[in-house]
Amino acid sequence: MDNRHRFETRAIHVGQAPDPATGATIVPVYQTVTFTQDEVGHHKGYEYSRTGNPTRAALEECLASLEGGRFGFAYGSGMAAIHGAMQLVSAGDHVVVADDLYGGTFRLFSEVLPRFGVHFDYVDATQPEAIDAAVTPETRMLWIETPTNPLLRLVDLSACAEIANRNGAKLVVDNTFATPYLQNPLEFGAHVVVHSTTKYLGGHSDVIGGAVIVDDEELAQTLQFTRNATGGIPGPWDAWLTLRGTKTLALRMREHEANARRVVEFLVGRPEVARVHYPGIPNHPGHELAQRQMRGFGGMLALDLEGGEPAARAFCAATQLFSLGESLGGVESLVGYPWSMSHGAFPAEEKRRKGITEGTVRLSVGIEHPDDLCTDLERALEAAVVTG
């Protein structure tokens, strides 16, 4: 499949040629541990499914194409993919991290990897000069999300890539919120892209997974070796489900964004809402940057409620179409309470410093009818006022 084809075409065809054995149009689920060899050392490209599996390979080729890279690696979860990307650093190395990031990533970086001699410093990555100032001679990696989780801040990819290259470091971008449909960090000089495929790529809240995409062969060799050595792979069924979800990513992202815009229009200016965080709002501090490096603003947003914690808890309890739960990016709408859910791993003072308050609520806007979603939110806001 020619990578010059458009996104929607590549999502359906790259890595997904008809099965050579049967002509099956859809990639089969190769539910096997091992592969029979013709003789010792002679096989058809696969030996053992931890090392390689045809279903997983189809997913990896497709994801790499969508991100504009040559090499894709699927993992058993988003956190496994993050840990996989961190195999690119060693004991004694220093990592500069954007401080507005997913709580699970923070937990790994603050409580697990330091035990192995990796050092982390957290900065406001919306200010490139802060990143530059945090770099040391031992810095080997910059780790950012953009848009960030949960406050949808924007980080300048090109500026971060320039800092990384100037200092001999690798820029890693968690692109889960934007998806490859709306943003391709490799185009802006990033070295590594990470996804929780559990979210928008799978898109149906029915499969856990992660992925790492690179365009550099040396990085790819390291990732392949360490993943095989550590074994954090998805099974073939999980790979197949994720690949099936990816086929409709473009269609879903268009609907997610259209609905998010409607929801934002409904929320902005309401007396119960102190602030809406969404890069599509013209006065959002990252709006112009989002226009430069993204092809849309996505389906995620956050809001701060005037009534603080009581209002936020009442709001989360009152929604019906917005299910209260962890995760994001599925076809169904979700509401989350970052203070104790997605970002519960952060100390309270750190959450407040970053702008996450007891009144912050995160919305993953699904693809239901937008009028129904706004009605649901109106009901929840009324409940929040009564409680507040």
Span 240-244, mean pLDDT? Answer: 98
Q: Do 50 and 173 belong to one domain?
A: yes
Q: Residue 112: which residues within 8 A CB-CB, separation 6 or more? A: none
Residue 39 has pLDDT above 70, yes or no: yes
Asked, for residue 1, whether it belongs to a domain, the answer is no
Q: Do 167 and 274 belong to one domain?
A: no
Residue 127 has pLDDT above 90, yes or no: yes
Number of structural domains the chain divides into = 2
Q: Do 219 and 330 belong to one domain?
A: no
Residue-averaged pLDDT of the chain: 96
Q: Do 83 and 127 belong to one domain?
A: yes
| Residue 174 known to be catalytic | yes
Q: What pLDDT is recorded for position 64? A: 98
| Residue 211, token pair as written in the block | 């992925």
Q: Do 307 and 229 belong to one domain?
A: no
Of 174, 238, 304, 376, which residue is the catalytic one?
Answer: 174
pTM of the model as a whole? 0.96
Q: What pLDDT is recorded for position 44? A: 83
Q: Do 257 and 220 belong to one domain?
A: no
Q: Do 243 and 320 belong to one domain?
A: no
Q: Do 116 and 157 belong to one domain?
A: yes
CATH code of the domain in which 157 resides: 3.40.640.10
Span 161-186, mean pLDDT? Answer: 98
Of 50, 247, 254, 379, which residue is the catalytic one?
Answer: 50
Between CA 195 and CA 57 the distance in angstroms is 16
Asked, for residue 2, whether it belongs to a domain, the answer is no
Which of 232, 247, 262 marks a domain boundary? 247
Instruction: Assign 163 to helix, strand or coil.
Output: helix
Q: By residue range, what is the domain housing residue 228?
A: 7-247
Q: Residue 262: which residues within 8 A CB-CB, separation 6 or more? A: 370, 373, 374
Of 75, 102, 122, 278, which residue is the catalytic one?
Answer: 102
Q: What pLDDT is recorded for position 216? A: 98
Of 199, 227, 261, 313, which residue is the catalytic one?
Answer: 199
- Sign for the CA dihedral angle at 351, 125, 363, 76 comes to negative
CATH code of the domain in which 288 resides: 3.90.1150.10
Q: What pLDDT is recorded for position 387? A: 59
Q: Do 240 and 143 belong to one domain?
A: yes
Q: What pLDDT is recorded for position 386? A: 64
Q: How many helices and strands (H and E) does the chain possess?
A: 14, 12
Give pLDDT tens digits for 316-331: 999 999 999 999 999 9
Q: Do 241 and 275 belong to one domain?
A: no
How distant, in Å, are the alpha carbons of 117, 121, 187, 270 from that of 139? 13, 10, 23, 45
